[in-house]
Amino acid sequence: MQRTSKLPNVGTTIFTVMSALANEHGAINLSQGFPNFPSPERLSDLVCQYMKKGYNQYAPMAGVQSLRERLAEKAEQLYRAKVDPDSEITITAGATQAIFTAITAFIRPGDEVILIEPAYDSYLPSVLVNGGTPAPYRLSAPDYRVDWDELGQMVTPRTRMIIINTPHNPTGTVLKTEDLKALEKLTAGTDILVLSDEVYEHLIYDGREHQSVLRYPGLWERSLATYSFGKTFHNTGWKVGYCLAPAHLMAEFRKVHQFNVFTVNTPVQYALADYLADPETYLSLNDFFQQKRDFFLEVMQGSHLRPLRCEGTYFYLFDYSAISGEPDTEFAKRMTTEWGVAAIPVSVFYSNGSSDKVIRLCFAKTEETLERAGALLRSM
């Protein structure tokens, strides 16, 4: 019996490939986006406490009430948005599940989805597996800025969704007020939905403010916004995130959520609700990661890798054209095997494999790790 694959061109992700290569060669792994330092001790202690107290059975499908109430308070405090914890917040098994669920809930065969590339690698297969038609809009190095007039020309009667990501993985850029206003104007009076990936909302630097879709009423009414506790609190393996959306969109989101996940890790939810009672647990992260960004840039001084710009996230892009003219995937593999540092080639974030000779390095590491990596990279 032969069956046709729904994702015929999808293989092992580059993140798995590069991490395996790093392990094989004993290289410093700056490829995958996870910290090599621990989750906050108090948060881990709270999880253990709730486990020992017996909070180990299914949580409500939408998530623990106290956690949803904390998130509603946070949305109002940061973005002046009134979000109903009962009908407009759902706790998810990480942001990637939230993204997949949002796409599955609304994208039908033939619907067009505008993807701003380079794009996080889950967007494209999530659109394809639901029968959608991806419409890539290409950003280019070194600025990676959206021309909204140009993007607007891609809109057709079949356009159902536009996916945005700010702060942006992999480029480290952030959308500004004028960007969100342009998107608000572009989608006004249409049936277009906005899926806003905001997992790095608290990792934004140099005095900038995160421009969430929640700040803009015309966007909020048509948006689903996704977030990640793992990215925020250094525990990506816990796989807990959440989605915010107006009630009429969240009702459809939950129809899918209840059948592909149903509910999410109970003791972690209760622990997060307690931990978020102090806003400094997340408001202090900008300074924490900006110091890491600046330290990494300092140890990279003297390298032939040319830094681009990092306004947010914990990724830095580097142009390697002064070292090699080879394709970025080959260069990244050779970096790992010959110089002992693993990176991600940015071409994998484009649906057509476009390469600007740029690699992505993760600086969510201890200073000792970054210093050792910097010494190796300066020798290239």
| Matching fold, domains 14-39+283-378 and 55-278 | no
What's residue 112's pLDDT? 98
My answer on whether omega of the bond before 246 falls inside 30° of 0, hence cis, is: no
What's residue 12's pLDDT? 80
Query: How far is CA 131 from its chain centroid?
Result: 23
8 A C-beta contact, residue 204 and residue 235: no
What's residue 269's pLDDT? 98
In the 8-state DSSP scheme, what is residue 338? I
Complete DSSP assignment for 39-98: PPHHHHHHHHHHHHTT--SPPPTT--HHHHHHHHHHHHHHH-----TTTSEEEESHHHHH
What's residue 34's pLDDT? 87
What's residue 345's pLDDT? 97
Mean pLDDT per 10-residue run, the chain (380 residues)? 82 88 95 92 98 98 98 98 98 98 98 97 96 97 96 98 98 98 98 98 97 98 97 95 98 97 97 97 96 98 96 98 96 96 96 92 97 96
CATH class of 55-278: alpha beta
CATH topology of domain 14-39+283-378: Aspartate Aminotransferase, domain 1 (3.90.1150)
Please give the structure tokens belonging to residue 175: 């959308």
8 A C-beta contact, residue 210 and residue 180: no
What's residue 9's pLDDT? 83
Helices (H) and strands (E) in the chain, counts: 15, 13
8 A C-beta contact, residue 312 and residue 209: no
Please give the structure tokens belonging to residue 216: 């803009």
What's residue 283's pLDDT? 95
What's residue 14's pLDDT? 87
8 A C-beta contact, residue 30 and residue 19: no
8 A C-beta contact, residue 219 and residue 183: yes
What's residue 126's pLDDT? 97
Ranges assigned E (strand) in 264-377: 306-307, 315-319, 341-342, 344-345, 358-362
Residue that the structure tokens 């597996």 belong to: 129
8 A C-beta contact, residue 339 and residue 149: no
What whole-number distance in Å separates Cα of residue 124 and Cα of residue 113?
Answer: 9
What's residue 32's pLDDT? 87
**Domain chopping of the chain, boundaries:** 14-39+283-378, 55-278
Report CA Rg, the chain. 20
What's residue 46's pLDDT? 98
Please give the structure tokens belonging to residue 199: 């997992």
What whole-number distance in Å separates Cα of residue 337 and Cα of residue 25?
Answer: 6
In what helix (H) or strand (E) does residue 125 lie, and over which residues does it extend?
helix 123-129
Point out which residues pair with 193 in neighbouring strands: 161
Please give the structure tokens belonging to residue 158: 């079949």
Q: Give the other-Cβ count within 10 Å of 295's Cβ.
A: 16
